[in-house]
Amino acid sequence: MLEALDKVAPGIYSKHTLLYGVEVKFYSMRLKLTNNLETQIKNLFAAGDGAGVTRGLAQASVSGVIIAREIINRMR
């Protein structure tokens, strides 16, 4: 692809070329959540992409940690 692109934009096919791409994501679902990621149903939490609160591995993982900490606090 870079070879073909080089014909349109000469010089792009070089070992110094860095490629940047735009990633567009659409999320239709977003639950109403508290800061602790609790839903409007008491003691029901939602984490990760399914809840519409994250868009990546690290964020999804952290959302689970937030919920786990809150559950531990409530059990004390």
Ligand X SMILES: Cc1cc2nc3c(=O)[nH]c(=O)nc-3n(C[C@H](O)[C@H](O)[C@H](O)COP(=O)(O)OP(=O)(O)OC[C@H]3O[C@@H](n4cnc5c(N)ncnc54)[C@H](O)[C@@H]3O)c2cc1C
Nearer to ligand X, 1 or 29 (CB): 29
Nearer to ligand X, 37 or 54 (CB): 54
For 45, the 3-state DSSP assignment is strand
Q: 43 burial class (0-12, 13-18, 19+ CB within 10 angstroms)?
A: exposed
Q: How far is the CB of 76 from ligand X (least distance, A)?
A: 26
Whether the Cβ atoms of residue 13 and residue 3 lie closer than 8 Å to each other: yes
Nearer to ligand X, 38 or 54 (CB): 54
Which positions touch ligand X (CB under 6 A)? 48-50, 54-58, 60
Residue at shortest CB range from ligand X? 48
Q: How far is the CB of 40 from ligand X (least distance, A)?
A: 20
Q: Give CA–CA dist 25/54, Å, rounded.
A: 11
